Amino acid sequence: MTKEELMRKAIELSKESVANGGGPFGAVIATKEGEIVAAGTNRVTSSCDPTAHAEVSTIREAAAKLGTFNLSGHVIYTSCEPCPMCLGAIYWARLDRMYYGNNKTDAKNIGFDDSFIYDELELNPTERQLPSEVLLHDEAIKAFEAWTAKEDKVEY
């Protein structure tokens, strides 16, 4: 499939999601040659999972199908510019490229405004709307020390 056909599939999924009571988002992960590996929609409300955005759901499906957390060699087509969570997931999945249809301003205009998250990331954790503080650092660091010392770890 061409990149335009793959994007149209993501857009079609976003429309189907709306028709089925979900959010207006769809995504497709394909090989560089245009073969679809996984496809998904926003399932936040249907699955009662705030992380079940189209991109995250599609990444989960592709990783499970391929048996790897490293999706390099693959491309994601998403109906909208990803939110901060999804963009992070896309980077962590090591996807080679991303195409999107709508942008974050389009999303903001229909009530999906992620700008407050970007603003929060710029703040010192003690100044964020979500109260947070370091607790038991001396105990928590032990897992990081064990990871550092582990010789047979699978890095990601």
Q: What is the pLDDT of residues 136-153, one digit of tens each?
A: 999 999 999 999 999 998
Q: In which domain, by residue range, is 90 found? A: 3-113
* Nearest one of 43, 38, 36, 53 to 107, comparing CA atoms: 53
Give a yes or no: residue 144 inside a domain. no
Tokens 């189907």 label which residue?
16
Domain total for the chain?
Answer: 1
Residues labelled as active-site residues: 55
pTM of the predicted model as reported, rounded to 2 decimal places: 0.91
Give a yes or no: residue 10 inside a domain. yes
Give a yes or no: residue 49 inside a domain. yes
The domain that contains 91 carries what CATH number?
3.40.140.10
Residue 156, pLDDT > 90, answer: no
Burial label, 43 (beta-carbon count in 10 A; 0-12, 13-18, 19+)? buried
Give a yes or no: residue 90 inside a domain. yes
